[in-house]
Structures are given as structure tokens and as C-alpha cells.
Structure 1
Amino acid sequence: MKKSLLSIVLTIYASQLLGKQKIDLLVTGITVYTVAEEGEISNTIAIEKGRVIGIGTDIELNKNYEARRNINAKGYIFPGFIDAHCHFSGYALDMYKCDLVGTASFVEVIEKVVAYDRTNKLSWIYARGWDQNDWTVKEFPDKSVLDSLFPDKPVILKRVDGHAILANQRALDMAGITMQSDFKGGSVEKKNGNLTGILIDNAMEPVENIVPPLPEQEATSYMNKMEQECYSLGLTGVVDCGVEGDIIRLLEKLYAGNKLTISNTTLLSQSKPTLEQYMKNGPLTKNNLTVSAIKIYADGALGSRGACLLKDYSDKHGHRGTMLSGLDEMSAIADDALKYKWQVCTHAIGDSANRTILKLYASKLKTKNDLRWRVEHAQVVHPSDYHFFSDYSIIPSVQPTHAISDMPWAEERLGTDRVNNAYAYKQLLNQNGWLPLGTDFPVEGINPIATFYTAAIRKDKNGKPEEGFLKANGLTREEALKGMTIWAAKSVGNENKKGSIEIGKDADIVILDQDIMTVDESKILSTRVLYTISKGEIKYQAK
């Protein structure tokens, strides 16, 4: 005891003799939101060697530290945002494709595709982002116009959710798809005895396989561009869902060479070659890349009516959607995941798919646990099934912007009773007391501020509906912030390093120009990022 006390006295005496401690960075703002359980009022953070070593007022910390660099920002400091469910590498490698997001009609789609073809002069055309629910005629288009414009060039137009494709006849021929083609977990749409060109879910694979991969140099360039866009929006971490083995190998190379630095937890695709390559070796962590989970697809999406429901779609009688993976396949993957210590994350949107996955998880997990198996999306859950989340410590991983994007047509698809139990984030939060939030970009936009706004305010960018969409299941601002910081980190087992501003944790910080916790809701979406700092390095600074 005497020796310990003497050591403390000597340390204090030495610090007084030596003066201030030299550190890498001192960051001062108006307020620091630490998101820690017991956060004190503060406005300054001290950072050394990529970690937080001090939190307090500027007066306190300036007495103790001399920084090699000081940031005095007239803004509000938050933990770096983490997207708990996105497609970082997939979006990056789609950047060269024709962008159809926001098109208001199929005519506009065609205009964009024709303009893209004139500019790029490729031997094939690949585009993404159309959504028939945004058009006046809310029906799937057919391939007739594409066939007439591009008789000799394959054209592939992927729907915004990634669960449907419109392909022209040339692409169908190259992929070997005919009237007789049949796919388990997918469908080839037909009308009046002819192919329409619409392929849903597993039926898309043969057509997508005809697209040549990008050269590594180009792929690297797009990955870098994607990373910088994330940093510019305040993201310091992503959970990259459903990545194939060849892309993971590229990611490993880029992270090893420090060509990518954003914190990335990657979820393996469930494809057989990818699982064969990675499963038995167990999870891996290299630099800022962690590959520790497996993404399974249970069903499709609501927008393309592929989500698997317990009862018929309200706007398509006799149709209940599709299970993309068989129960035996999913069970085998879950068994291997337990054996080789992988986290399991399963896409389930419809109430039938959610029930199937929840029961499957329950059969494997047996009781409460800390394995953090996740259900991705959990958009429509039958009220009698919520207990599975709490009984077996299953984590719902949701994307609040989906609720607002689906809002114009969700009731038409689901009917009044089912829609009132959809996008039920408060009910899902209450099961385990925490809820990770993501965007699912590029299905939705990347901006985490939109995640915050739609989670807490439940309105579109125009402030509609005035009462909020299914507002009873909205989150508080505090819950929304935790969902995109500490709970997002916790959902992949990273809460001891990231997700909050605490001494000893990585110095991942975003500084905003206004206080999203208190500003009027009408101003939230106009929030600008002033700085993004990752492990103490400034990755983005507003001009």
C-alpha cells in the first residue's frame, strides 16, 4: 500500500516537473455526446496513438496536454457512425453502372440507359436502381423496348432492392434462360406465353454471371471512392453484408496494403465456394478488416413481392412470396457456424420467413446466449413471434429508411392489420433492450443522418405524414443515436473498441454543424459533417 502511494506521488511530481503531456490531437467542440452509460458534460477529447485518453472541458484538458494538432470546431461531437447493415463492396463495384435511382417512369429508365450507352460504348449494359413503385404505372416493365433498342447487346437492369432484374432477350439467351427455365427460390416471369425479361431472386444468378468482373485496378479505385464517401458522411465503420470470396480476397489485399482503412466487418456470402474457402478456418481479423459472420438469405423483398408471408399478399391473391434457401441448407450452415465460431446473420423480411428463421435459431441456440445471431431487416414479424428474440438473445438488425421508402405502398401490399405490425422498431428494441441500425445501401442512400431522422421522426424528407408513419414504433433520438453507434458496434462484438467515446477506445469521431439531439426535426436532414476522425486520423474535413 505504501509502495503504491509512493508511486502515485512520484508520478504526480514527475508530471509537474515535465509539464504537459504531449499528445497527437486535441479536439474541442460545443458538446461531446459520448454515448457512454455515465457521460459527463464535456466539450474536448484528448487523443494519442489513435485512442481516446482524456475527456473533459477545454480548460481541464489544455492544462494537462499539449497537442501536436488542435481542432477547434464550432460543432457537436459524436462517436463515429457505424452502418450495421450495408453493401460497401457491392456498392463500390456497382459505381460504374448506369444509375437508375429516382427514375419516375420506365420511359426515364430507357432515356438514361440510352444516354449511358452513348457515353460508355461497352459491349454490354448493366444498370441498377429502378423501382416500379415510384412510377405512375406501378407494374413490372417488360423487355420489349430493350429488345428493339439493343437486339445484339446484353442489357441487365437491376431493381433498387437487388431482388429483381429486367433483362433483354440477348442477355437471356447468353444466360441460357428459356420458357422452360425453373429456379428454386426464384421465378422467371411470363406473360401471354412469352418471357417478360423479369427475373426474381435466385433466377437472376445466370444473367448476373455473364457480367465480366472489373479489373483489380478499377475495383480498387471504386473501393477508395466508396470509402471516402462514407467518411464524408460521418461513417467510421460498416458491416458489409453477403460478400463473395473473390471480393473478400481483394479486401484483404487492400487492407493489408493500407489502401482501405474504414473499419469493416464483413459477412460471408452463403455461396458454397465462399463457405468452403473460409468456414473451417474460422473468423479472421487483419488491420481494420474483420470477417466474422455469415449472411444467409431466407426470402426476397416486399417491393418485388418476394418476401415470404404467412398469408397472401393483399395486392396479389394466391401469392405469398418465396423462400430463397431451404431449411436443410440453412440448418447445415448454422451447425457449421456454431462449430467454427461464426456469427449468423439472416435476411428475413416476411412474417413467414421471420418465423422460420426464429424457430431455426431457437433450435440451435437452445437458451439465452451471447452469440449475437442476427435477423436482418425483420420488417414483418407476427406478434406471436416477438418472444423468440428475447428468449434466445436474437438481435434484430433494421434499416429505418426502408420504412419511409416503403410507406407509400406498404399497406397495399400487406393490408391494414399486417402493416401495423411492420417496421416495429420499438417492439423489436424492447425484446433485448438494444437495436442496431443500418441503411442497406445502395438499396437506400448512405447518409446516416437519414437513418437517425427516419428512426426517430418517422417522416419523409418533406415532413410527411405529419403524425409520422406508424409513429408508435418509432425510436427516441437517444435510441436512434445508440443504434448507429454503440449498438451497431455491439451487434458485431466490437463494443469494447468502438461505438462510444470513452477512455481507451478507438478515437472514432464525427463532428456535426448542428445538434441532432435537440434541433427542430425539420432541420435534422440539413445537418452537415464538419470532420470525420478514425483512430485519431482526420479522414474528412468540410471545405
Structure 2
Amino acid sequence: MRRILTLAALLATTSVPAFAGDILIHGGPIHTGVAAAPTAQAVLIRDDRIAFVGDLAAAKAKAAKDARDIDLKGAAAFPGFVDAHAHLTGIGLRELTLNLDQTTSVESLVAAVKAYADAHPEGPIYGRGWIETHWPEKRFPNRADLDRAAPRRIVVLERADGHAVVASTAALAAAGVTKDTVAPAGGQILKGPAGEPDGMLIDHAQGLVAGVIPPPSDALKRQALEKAGALYASRGWTGLDNMSVDKADVVILQGLAREKKFSLRVDNYMDPASADVVLPIGPSQDGTGLIRVRGIKLYMDGALGSRGAALLEPYSDAEGLGLQLTPRDKGLDLMKRAKAVGAQVAMHAIGDRGNRMTLDWFEEALAGDTTARWRIEHSQIVTDTDVPRFAKLGVIASMQPSHAIGDLYFAPARLGKARLHEGYRWKDFLDSGAVIAAGSDAPVEVGDPRIEFYAAVYRHSLDGFANADWSLNEAVSRDQALRMLTWAPAYAAFAEQDRGTLEAGKKADVTVFSKDLMTVAPPEILKADAVLTIVDGKVVFEK
């Protein structure tokens, strides 16, 4: 008799039992991601591979007698969702430190810091996740705010996008930052009316206070990575592209995977400081097959919100053209070394100037090679003339749909009406023939596949707001959104022959949601629960 597991049982299950043998999935919509056969009645998994996709009767005939039978009871199955841009250690640390992603004003930030300081009376305070664009005060926080919250304490709070911090007076003093301190190249020290630093440090200037907060220990990183893996599995992700990775984190991930304490697929793009991991040896794989090193992650510019994105024309609401974070000679040297060993390059570029320079550098370094699958991370603001260059050069647009539905509250002010159409051009990229690998950039964003899918197909805020500035014509179809979050990340990792769709012979990576994302009304997408996550034929999460 087959083992029956209904959706009701799924919802009641909190632990994941080991099961060796066939798994038969049926009883709800199954979306394969294959254009010629987009839906199926059943999927049969054998070991780590998909053995059959198609008719239920045929699947039952092929299944072993003791196969585990999962009746979805109307829940919907999809190819495994993959976050094509995330920061795994940061995701875990966000859950273990002062999380500020729910702050709604300067005063709520002050209250959060005060509460944390009262609960932790000793030592420096580090937090992350604040973003001021919706705050009623219409300004960045400053050191005076932090001094009110935690007098005489070292406090450093990172903006959600990771491109700015605000530091307390004690933190600035400990770092030796004064009115005479010169900002490093690619950074800014914001100052008050008297010329004194106001606590806001942009992009490379963040490094000035890096030493005043003790770095996380390997033990804390291990805890953070294990927690992040469990959290991501519970949201329905089967894998992610991990950005700006330290080599120590790769070692920890490999150890966790071997110990069966981490079950997701991770393709790592290393921080330049750890580039020695990549450049002499090229892409590598650990013994589990889950943790891979793909290439390096570089930064061309900063973020739009903190006005560090490199623009061709000045910001509409401030002076300046933004920041270039990587010098040309250094960037091209790293790119050419990466190409020589087959390592991928992933370059962060937000502004239209940042994207153009990246395309120019890629074109020079690749020297006509359109098969390298190098990536531009974010690809947020791109001119009309540069959009076709992505497909022409074989460059992947690694984009985060949730960025648009957050940024479009303030992007009109930063860019002005005339160039606002350059932003978040999902449909334009797809129409040009480019590949979009979609992700979340968590912990900058929540890191939820439902939000990314919703944003891609609906292009409204989470509470349903949009206006003429939001370019609703750039929303994509549901088939396109599914491809952006499943097949495209596989393609970006040179793995589309092995995963990204539900087809016989491919790796058995499956995501199941309680609602059918392909048919429900857009607001209902956000109410769909992840109820089952399968990686390599193993159930890694059940709700």
C-alpha cells in the first residue's frame, strides 16, 4: 500500500521524516515550466531525479509499490524556485541581531535601538534593515538620533540596501572619524551644517567604522547559515545564488551540507577579497553537490536610495552623479583573470552610467565570447540604447522584482520624469531577447518567492498601490515570471540541462504552494503558503 500524505497532513507536520524510495506527487495543478507541456497530472521522483512527468495512471504504473504518495489536495507544484541574488549569511544574521526592517520612522528606529540597548547593556550595538524612504521625517537618521537611543554606546546601523550606515558619536570617535576625515574613493561622509560628520557614511565610507563592531565569529556564522537555510526552505526556495561571499562561509556551508544540516543548492559568487578561491581554480564543487563556487561579485556603483548609483546625468533631487566603486584597471584585471579560468563575473550595477560602464568592460574583457554568462546584478536603470546590448553580449540581467515596488516610491524624485522609464525594465529586457534571472537581494528585501512573483506580474506595492510612474506595462506574464524564478537561475549557473523545469531525467527540485500562483488574483499570491519543498529528491520542508 502506498503511503498517503494529504495536504492536511502536510499542514500538521513540523518535522521532515527521511524517506528512501519513490515519491509520487499528484492531486493539484502541476506546472512544469516546459512550453510544449506546461501542466501535468503527476510527477514521479526516484532517488534524486524526476523519473516521470505526465498522466497520473501512467505515473502510478511506474511507481514502486512502497512509493510515498503525496496528494496535494489542490495545492500547486512548480519547478524549484531559486533566489538568483541573495546574501545568505546576512539573511541569518538578520534573524540573530537587531532587525530594523519594520521601522516606520526615525522615532521607531530610536525606540527599537533603545529597547535593544536596555536588553543588552554591554558592548557595541549592530543592526540592519532600516530604510527611510517611507518615513514621515523624510530624512536619514543621524548620530544624534542614535545618541538619544543609547547614550555613549557604540552603535552602527546598516541601511537595508547595504550601501550606507549610520553611526553614533561614540562609534565615530572610536573610529577616529572627524570633520577633517577625507572620504575614501567611492564613498561619502555626510555632514551637518557645521561641517561635522552627521553619522551617515555612504558606500566605501562605511569601512571607516568597520573596526568598531566585532566581526561575527565562525560559530555565529554557522548558526546564521543554518538558520538561513531552514528559513529559505520554509519559504519554498530550493536554492540561491549567494553573493559577495567570504571564503570562510563557503567552508562552513560545505561542512553543514556534509553534516546534513543544510539542504539547499548554493552557487557562490565570491567577494574580491576572497577571489583567490576562484581565480586559480575556477568553479568548484563540494562532495554533496549542493555547494558550488561559480565566480566573483564586483561592484560598479552604489544604490539609488542613498544616491550612490552612478548616473549619466545628475540626480534630479540632489547634486552629483553617484559613485564608481571599482576602478577600471582593477575591474578589468579581475575580469580577465576570471575569464581565463572559466569563472563567472557578477557585477553590481544600479545606475544607467553604472550599467553602461559594466557593459563596456564586459565587452572588452570577453572579447567576443557570448557564452560566458556573465551577469549584471540589479540592472536597474538602463538606457534605451543599452538594453539590447545584454542579449547581444550574452549578459544575464539579474534583477529583483521587489526592488521596483519599493523603489518606485522614491525613484521619480531621484531620476525625474524624463528618464524614469529606464527603471526596472523587465518586459523590455525579455522582449530584447535577454535572460532575466530573478531574485530578492535578501536581506535587503524580505527574501520571499511570493513577493518576487507578485511584483513581477502585478507591479503594485504590497498594499496594492501603483500610479502612472510605476510603468505597469513593464509587468510580465505569469509564465515569464515562473521562468525568471526557476529556469533562468538554472541557466545562469550553467545548470539548465539538470534543473529549472519538471522533466524526466532532471534533478528532483520541487516547490509546492497552497494556492496556484498561475491563476489566483494577484493579491492572493501573497497569501499562498509554501507547504512542501523538495531538493535532490529529499523533502527538506513540510508545513
- 1:62 aligns to what? 60
Q: Note the 1:417-456 alignment, pairs <5 A.
A: 417-456=418-457
Change in CA separation of 1:312 and 1:259 when aligned onto 2, cut-off 3 Å: same
- 1:147 aligns to what? 147
Q: Note the 1:282-321 alignment, pairs <5 A.
A: 282-286=282-286, 287=288, 288-316=290-318, 318-321=319-322
Q: Aligned equivalents of 1:109 and 1:87: distance in 2?
A: 23
Q: Aligned equivalents of 1:83 and 1:63: distance in 2?
A: 35
Q: Aligned equivalents of 1:383 and 1:161: distance in 2?
A: 26
After superposing the two structures, state which structure 1 stretch, 185-194 or 307-316, moved more. Answer: 185-194
| Counterpart among 194, 198, 201 of residue 199 in structure 1 | 201
Is 1:244 equivalent to 2:246 in the alignment? yes
After superposing the two structures, state which structure 1 stretch, 246-255 or 526-535, moved more. Answer: 246-255
Contact 2:278 2:293 in 1 (8 A): no
Change in CA separation of 1:453 and 1:40 when aligned onto 2, cut-off 3 Å: closer
Q: Note the 1:128-207 alignment, pairs <5 A.
A: 128-181=128-181, 182-191=183-192, 192-207=194-209
- 2:17 aligns to what? none
What are the Cα deviations for residues 237-267 of structure 1, in whole angstroms up to 9, with x where unaligned? 1001111222223223222333212000011
Q: Aligned equivalents of 2:208 and 2:195: distance in 1?
A: 21
Task: State the Cα distance separating 1:406 from its structure 2 match.
Answer: 0.8
Q: Aligned equivalents of 1:84 and 1:29: distance in 2?
A: 29
What are the Cα deviations for residues 317-346 of structure 1, in whole angstroms up to 9, with x where unaligned? x31111111111111110111112110010
Q: Aligned equivalents of 1:212 and 1:414: distance in 2?
A: 37
Contact 1:43 1:58 in 2 (8 A): yes
- 1:17 aligns to what? none
Contact 1:26 1:46 in 2 (8 A): yes
| Counterpart among 49, 52, 61 of residue 50 in structure 2 | 52
What are the Cα deviations for residues 108-163 of structure 1, in whole angstroms up to 9, with x where unaligned? 10100111122233401001111111111211222123235544421001111111
What are the Cα deviations for residues 84-110 of structure 1, in whole angstroms up to 9, with x where unaligned? 111112221333221111312111101
Change in CA separation of 1:494 and 1:176 when aligned onto 2, cut-off 3 Å: farther
Contact 2:189 2:202 in 1 (8 A): yes
Aligned partner letter, 1:282: G
- 1:94 aligns to what? 94
Q: Aligned equivalents of 2:110 and 2:360: distance in 1?
A: 44
Task: State the Cα distance separating 1:41 from its structure 2 match.
Answer: 4.0
Larger Rg: 1
Task: State the Cα distance separating 1:445 from its structure 2 match.
Answer: 1.1
The alignment partner of 2:242 has SS state of: strand
Task: State the Cα distance separating 1:369 from its structure 2 match.
Answer: 1.6
Change in CA separation of 1:276 and 1:536 when aligned onto 2, cut-off 3 Å: closer
Q: Aligned equivalents of 2:162 and 2:528: distance in 1?
A: 29
Contact 2:113 2:149 in 1 (8 A): no
Q: Aligned equivalents of 2:532 and 2:468: distance in 1?
A: 34
Q: Aligned equivalents of 1:471 and 1:46: distance in 2?
A: 39
Aligned partner letter, 1:284: S
After superposing the two structures, state which structure 1 stretch, 240-249 or 262-271, moved more. Answer: 240-249
Q: Aligned equivalents of 2:279 and 2:228: distance in 1?
A: 27
Change in CA separation of 1:171 and 1:383 when aligned onto 2, cut-off 3 Å: same
Change in CA separation of 1:411 and 1:69 when aligned onto 2, cut-off 3 Å: same
The alignment partner of 2:442 has SS state of: coil
The alignment partner of 1:38 has SS state of: coil
Q: Aligned equivalents of 1:122 and 1:26: distance in 2?
A: 54
After superposing the two structures, state which structure 1 stretch, 477-486 or 118-127, moved more. Answer: 118-127
Aligned partner letter, 1:432: G
Task: State the Cα distance separating 1:302 from its structure 2 match.
Answer: 0.5
Change in CA separation of 1:94 and 1:463 when aligned onto 2, cut-off 3 Å: closer
Aligned partner letter, 1:367: G
Aligned partner letter, 1:159: R
Change in CA separation of 1:521 and 1:357 when aligned onto 2, cut-off 3 Å: same
Is 1:263 equivalent to 2:249 in the alignment? no
Q: Aligned equivalents of 1:235 and 1:541: distance in 2?
A: 12
Aligned partner letter, 2:78: F
Q: Note the 1:331-350 alignment, pairs <5 A.
A: 331-350=332-351
Change in CA separation of 1:467 and 1:533 when aligned onto 2, cut-off 3 Å: farther
Q: Aligned equivalents of 2:537 and 2:410: distance in 1?
A: 44
Q: Aligned equivalents of 1:30 and 1:94: distance in 2?
A: 35
Task: State the Cα distance separating 1:233 from its structure 2 match.
Answer: 1.0
- 1:3 aligns to what? none
Is 1:127 equivalent to 2:147 in the alignment? no
Change in CA separation of 1:173 and 1:201 when aligned onto 2, cut-off 3 Å: same
Contact 2:187 2:201 in 1 (8 A): yes
- 2:15 aligns to what? none
Q: Aligned equivalents of 1:321 and 1:283: distance in 2?
A: 33
Aligned partner letter, 1:144: A
Q: Note the 1:226-241 alignment, pairs <5 A.
A: 226-241=228-243
Q: Aligned equivalents of 2:158 and 2:365: distance in 1?
A: 35
Change in CA separation of 1:121 and 1:393 when aligned onto 2, cut-off 3 Å: same
Contact 1:189 1:196 in 2 (8 A): yes
Contact 1:125 1:153 in 2 (8 A): yes
After superposing the two structures, state which structure 1 stretch, 431-440 or 80-89, moved more. Answer: 431-440
- 1:532 aligns to what? 533
- 1:72 aligns to what? 71
Is 1:322 equivalent to 2:323 in the alignment? yes
Change in CA separation of 1:47 and 1:132 when aligned onto 2, cut-off 3 Å: same
- 2:512 aligns to what? 511
Change in CA separation of 1:390 and 1:215 when aligned onto 2, cut-off 3 Å: closer
Q: Aligned equivalents of 1:148 and 1:30: distance in 2?
A: 55
Task: State the Cα distance separating 1:76 from its structure 2 match.
Answer: 1.2
Contact 1:459 1:468 in 2 (8 A): no
Q: Note the 1:448-527 alignment, pairs <5 A.
A: 448-465=449-466, 469-527=470-528
The alignment partner of 2:409 has SS state of: helix
Contact 2:110 2:148 in 1 (8 A): no
- 2:12 aligns to what? none
Q: Kindly tell me the number of residue pairs found equivalent between the two proteins.
A: 518
Contact 2:347 2:377 in 1 (8 A): yes
Q: Aligned equivalents of 1:293 and 1:347: distance in 2?
A: 13
Is 1:374 equivalent to 2:372 in the alignment? no
Task: State the Cα distance separating 1:23 from its structure 2 match.
Answer: 4.2
- 2:5 aligns to what? none
Change in CA separation of 1:209 and 1:226 when aligned onto 2, cut-off 3 Å: same
Task: State the Cα distance separating 1:212 from its structure 2 match.
Answer: 1.9
Task: State the Cα distance separating 1:396 from its structure 2 match.
Answer: 0.9
- 2:211 aligns to what? 209
- 1:8 aligns to what? none
Task: State the Cα distance separating 1:433 from its structure 2 match.
Answer: 4.4
Contact 2:221 2:249 in 1 (8 A): no
The alignment partner of 1:304 has SS state of: coil
Contact 1:79 1:499 in 2 (8 A): yes
Structure 1: segments with no counterpart, 5+ residues:
1-21
What are the Cα deviations for residues 34-68 of structure 1, in whole angstroms up to 9, with x where unaligned? 11242264221111111100112222211222243
Q: Aligned equivalents of 1:334 and 1:188: distance in 2?
A: 30
Task: State the Cα distance separating 1:446 from its structure 2 match.
Answer: 1.1
After superposing the two structures, state which structure 1 stretch, 469-478 or 242-251, moved more. Answer: 242-251
